Structure 1
Amino acid sequence: MLTTFILEDNPQQRFYYQQVVRTQIMIDELDMQLAVVTATPAAIQDYLVQNPQTHGLFLFDIEIGTELTAGLDLAVWVRERFFDAQIIFMTTHTEMAFLTFERKIAPMDYLLKDKGMTLVEAQLRADIQLAVQRYNQTIVTNTQKFGYRIGQRYYEIPFTQFYFLETAPGNTGKLIIHAQQRQAEFIGKLSEQATKYPHLFLAHRSILLNPQTIVSFDTAKRVAYFPDQQSCLVAFRKVAALNHLLR
């Protein structure tokens, strides 16, 4: 679901944007929700910290109260943590536009309130449609990637580079990922990952592997080999199933 956030310190404008988004969701039956409507950047940050896998559409005023770049600062924070964030600035400050490029925010649009609410609304509705299209494309792409979180950072690896997961020795609440030029440890359970990514193969009670990246499988030794001289053990009772899968 595409999750939408509005940061605007003017109560009337904040309510207006909220109604535009809600109406668009209802009329077009969009796979979209309005999560946070606020004048406080921290409210959006708090939500995102608790929901680190959010796919978001962010409507930000640049100036919040006496803070001339509060919206820009929040956008930088969002961009650093959410690679697919779709950010729209709504402002009267045309001179601020260059800062969005300087800070590498890469917004999808820059709406000037001075144009009048009718034009702003029309542009915003078009942006919402575009954001939904981009989100749908992202979902298709993400099915080809493995995602995991370390602290507050979210990472993704294409399955073409993913080898296997193993439960960390002595800690069933942590997993170690083995991938092309990458090894990392993160919090998680193997059973949950097996459910989330059904195309992966449970080769052992502590190992979940990617059959697509196996280079060879030694059935006698019960060892699956991957690029970069990586390998993992396969349980005896799983040998036949993996052999069949690799045919």
Structure 2
Amino acid sequence: ILDLNPFLTLERKIAPLDYILKDKTLEDIKSKIIEDINLARAQYVEALYHQQKLFGYRIGSRYFSVPMNELVMLYTVKERPGSVTMIAKKRQAEFPGNLNNLEEKYTNLFCCDKSYLVNLDHVTSFDAQARQLQFNQGLVCKVSFRKARDLTKLMKDRES
């Protein structure tokens, strides 16, 4: 005896997308499946778009997070090895870390120099001659010679 719990669907937070009858023609079934796959993909893309991406860091035993769209840059200074400074729209923090690990984890950030990871969404201008990035809030950072070409290409791609 099969015990079907009607609430199992709700508990597992799943829902049917469509109901395809077998008595339809093969062409009708095929078009319904394609339509359902396109609908599922559109719903997935919509969910990804609305899901807020966060940048997370830890200071001691406390965990913090900042919405990725507020993060401006991460940088290190030689005087404090093993320490990363984060600048966001509404806060600034220093925490233990490594830019190489953060670059791997947060692929949307651009490494413009060995000491800087930046969020290009906050760049107001890029002076390719001086190899300098200008941000909102008057922040400025240098771009390495090798990264300047990549950044120029990225900025052009963003324009189009």
Deviation at 1:151, TM superposition (A): 1.7
The reply to whether residue 194 of structure 1 matches residue 103 of structure 2 is yes
* Number of matched pairs: 115
Give the drift of 1:141: 3.0
- Secondary structure at the aligned position of 1:224 is classed as strand
Which residue, 100, 112, 118 being the options, matches 1:209?
A: 118
1:244 to 2:153 alignment: yes
Q: Name which of 136, 143, 148 aligns with 1:234.
A: 143
1:205 Cα deviation (Å)? 0.7
Question: Post-superposition shift, 1:175?
Answer: 0.2
Q: Take 2:126 and 2:67, find their aligned partners in 1: how far apart are those partners?
A: 22
What SS does the corresponding residue of 1:238 show, helix, strand or coil?
helix
Stretches of structure 2 that go unaligned for 5 or more consecutive residues are: 1-6, 14-46
* CA-CA distance at 1:168 after TM superposition: 3.3
Deviations 1:39-68 (A, max 9, x none): xxxxxxxxxxxxxxxxxxxxxxxxxxxxxx
Q: Which has the higher helix share?
A: 1
* 2-structure distance, mates of 1:175, 1:187: 6
**What secondary structure sits across from 1:160 in the alignment?**
coil
For the aligned residues, what is the CA RMSD?
Answer: 2.3
TM-score using structure 2 length: 0.64
Gaps of 5+ in 1: 1-121, 131-136
Q: Does 1:181 align with 2:90?
A: yes
Aligned to 1:152: 61
Could you tell me how far apart the structure 2 residues matched to 1:141 and 1:174 are?
29
Secondary structure (helix, strand or coil) at the match of 2:102 reads helix
| Cross-structure match for 1:166 | 75
Helix, strand or coil at the partner of 1:237 = helix
2: CA distance, partners of 1:213 / 1:230: 10
Instruction: Quote the offset at 1:167 in angstroms.
Output: 1.1
Aligned equivalents of 1:151, 1:168: Cα separation in 2: 20
- 1:235 Cα offset (Å): 0.7
Q: State the 4+ residue runs in structure 1 displaced beyond 3 angstroms.
A: none
User: Aligned ranges for residues 2-17 of structure 1 at < 5 Å?
Assistant: none
